[in-house]
């Protein structure tokens, strides 16, 4: 084996690192617009899926414009904040703020049958990384209409099952307030939910930690909206 | 290149076919088990994983082989890791830009290709001492051997665990559930992957004379 001087090793490593850095930063810059577009389309698809509108990457933008009629942002006192764009708010960043400083986006959708659905984002921690999604409510602000969840790093086949259709479909018609108008959120139950229960859904086999994270996410995020929901319910009466 | 040999000489073809059977990285060398357990719950991620590993291994093998005479032996492992990591990040970025859905499914495991022992193993054992073309064949062969096992395991796990093949509900369409059959939830848990790999190793060893050890 040839021997190499220390100087050679330093020069070799320096050149290698520079080449690699140049290559990776070029790739990152060239691909970034495509990736950001994908993320934006993904967000629109998630919002559409939460109101049970079938969509794909091609139709998402058109359907989004068609069904999402309005969106606005509220603060903790449920006052509308006009300077914010609901689509651009990162729920993950908002949830890091203390509850009284959060800006909370709400999307309103008018479906073909004329009913209005209210869509709110949720964001929390899974086992390996963030999990997030959208929950849609009927205009009684208690009954869920649909739910869709997504994740960055959950284990395929286990925790990652949260973004399957069967998992999201369980949330339809569940209630997040009990009859006394107390906030009860949704429970993910290990070993099968009681079909009679108003707020239980099945957890995921092999994905207990992700399920726990999801349960906490729903409690925290939907909890942030509860004042707003309660006010709306009073207005409805 | 004085000893010019044909591109697909019998020696070179062996580089491609041996890893599929008698020199399989998973069942014979028992490398890369970790990812074989993790992403074999469903076929589709397993196939994409196999392709990603193939790209990473083939290109890294060629790159390392091309610069093998300039790599100082004292830092060769660092150099190999840098090349692998670069390739993996590139594959990850490209998947995110052009195959967003698949990249979401594979999630962490694309990044974990870096730690796949098969890749380090081939670079250190083969690419460092062979020409780029043979290194390329070796890379393709070994990743195909890896992918083959991944696909066999995920086929059984998806079929028996979820009753589907490539997400298509085969068992439901065949009406098997009406006979009282139920999916085996145990199949989707990691231990079953290990057991299936064990069974594959058993079958392979008892059928292949070269692999039967004398005691």
pLDDT digits (tens, 9 = 90+) for A191-223: 878 888 888 899 888 888 999 999 999 999 999
Residue A114: pLDDT band (50, 70, 90) is confident
- pLDDT value of position B26: 83
Instruction: Give bridge partners of residue A120 from the DSSP assignment.
Output: A135
The domain tally of chain A equals: 1
Which whole number is the average pLDDT over A145-161? Answer: 84
Closest among A188, A182, A96 to A142, alpha carbons compared: A182
Contact A206 B74 (CB under 8 A): no
Reported as a single tens digit per residue, the pLDDT across B40-60 is: 888 888 888 899 899 999 999
The complex's ipTM works out to: 0.74
CB A145 within 8 A of CB A171: no
Reported as a single tens digit per residue, the pLDDT across B176-215 is: 888 888 888 888 888 888 899 999 989 988 888 777 777 6
Least Cα separation, residue A235 to chain B (angstroms): 41
Is the model's pLDDT at B61 over the cut of 90? yes
* Any domain includes A144: yes
Least Cα separation, residue B90 to chain A (angstroms): 7
- Residues spanned by the domain of A204: 41-236
* Any domain includes A154: yes
- pLDDT value of position B190: 81
Considering only CB atoms, B97 lies closest to which of A31, A128, A157, namely A31
Domain residue limits, chain B: 28-205
3-state secondary structure of A211: helix
- pLDDT value of position A53: 86
Is the model's pLDDT at B3 over the cut of 60? no
DSSP H or E stretch at residue A26: helix A6-50
* Any domain includes A152: yes
Task: Count Cβ–Cβ pairs < 8 Å, chain A vs chain B.
Answer: 85
Considering only CB atoms, B90 lies closest to which of A27, A153, A155, namely A27
* Any domain includes A229: yes
Reported as a single tens digit per residue, the pLDDT across A14-42 is: 999 999 999 999 999 999 999 999 888 98
Which whole number is the average pLDDT over B3-25? Answer: 79
Which whole number is the average pLDDT over B91-100? Answer: 88
Considering only CB atoms, B70 lies closest to which of A12, A152, A205, namely A12
* Any domain includes A48: yes
User: Could you say which residues from 165 to 204 on chain B have a Cβ atom under 8 Å away from some Cβ of chain A?
Assistant: 185, 188-189
Is the model's pLDDT at B1 over the cut of 70? no
């Amino acid at each position: 084996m040839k021997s190499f001087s220390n100087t050679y090793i330093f020069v070799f490593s320096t050149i290698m690192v520079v080449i690699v850095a140049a290559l990776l930063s070029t790739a990152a810059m060239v691909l970034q617009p495509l990736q950001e577009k994908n993320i934006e389309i993904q967000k629109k698809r998630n919002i559409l899926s939460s109101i049970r509108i079938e969509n794909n990457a091609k139709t998402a933008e058109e359907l989004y414009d068609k069904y999402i009629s309005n969106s606005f942002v509220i603060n903790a006192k449920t006052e509308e904040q006009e300077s914010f764009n609901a689509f651009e708010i990162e729920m993950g960043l908002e949830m890091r703020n203390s509850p009284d400083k959060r800006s909370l986006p709400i999307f309103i959708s008018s479906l073909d049958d004329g009913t209005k659905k209210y869509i709110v984002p949720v964001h929390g921690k899974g086992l390996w990384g963030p999990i997030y999604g959208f929950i849609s409510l009927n205009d009684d602000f208690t009954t869920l209409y649909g739910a869709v969840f997504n994740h960055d790093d959950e284990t395929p086949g286990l925790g990652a099952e949260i973004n399957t259709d069967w998992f999201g479909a369980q949330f339809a018609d569940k209630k997040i307030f009990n009859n006394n108008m107390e906030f009860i959120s949704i429970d993910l139950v290990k070993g099968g939910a009681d079909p009679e229960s108003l707020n239980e859904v099945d957890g995921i086999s092999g994905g207990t930690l992700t399920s726990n994270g999801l349960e906490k996410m729903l409690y925290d995020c939907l909890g942030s909206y509860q004042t707003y929901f309660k006010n709306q319910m009073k207005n409805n009466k | 290149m004085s000893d010019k040999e044909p591109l697909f000489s019998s020696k070179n073809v062996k580089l491609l076919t041996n890893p599929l059977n008698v020199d399989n990285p998973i069942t014979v060398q028992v490398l890369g088990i970790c990812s074989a357990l993790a992403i074999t719950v469903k076929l589709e991620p397993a196939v994409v994983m196999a392709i990603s590993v193939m790209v990473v291994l083939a290109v890294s093998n060629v790159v390392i082989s091309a610069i093998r005479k300039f790599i100082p032996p004292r830092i060769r492992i660092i150099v190999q890791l840098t090349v692998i990591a670069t390739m993996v990040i590139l594959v990850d970025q490209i998947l995110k830009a052009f195959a967003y859905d698949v990249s979401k499914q594979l999630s962490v495991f694309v990044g974990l290709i870096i730690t796949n022992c098969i890749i380090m193993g081939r670079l250190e054992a083969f690419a460092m001492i062979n020409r780029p073309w043979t290194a390329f064949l070796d890379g393709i062969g070994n990743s195909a051997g890896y992918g083959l096992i991944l696909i066999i395991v995920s086929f059984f796990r998806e079929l028996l665990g979820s009753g589907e093949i490539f997400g298509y509900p085969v068992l439901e369409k065949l009406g098997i559930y009406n006979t009282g059959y139920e999916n085996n939830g145990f199949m989707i848990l990691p231990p079953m992957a290990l057991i299936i790999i064990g069974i594959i190793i058993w079958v392979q060893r008892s059928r292949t004379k070269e692999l039967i050890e004398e005691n």
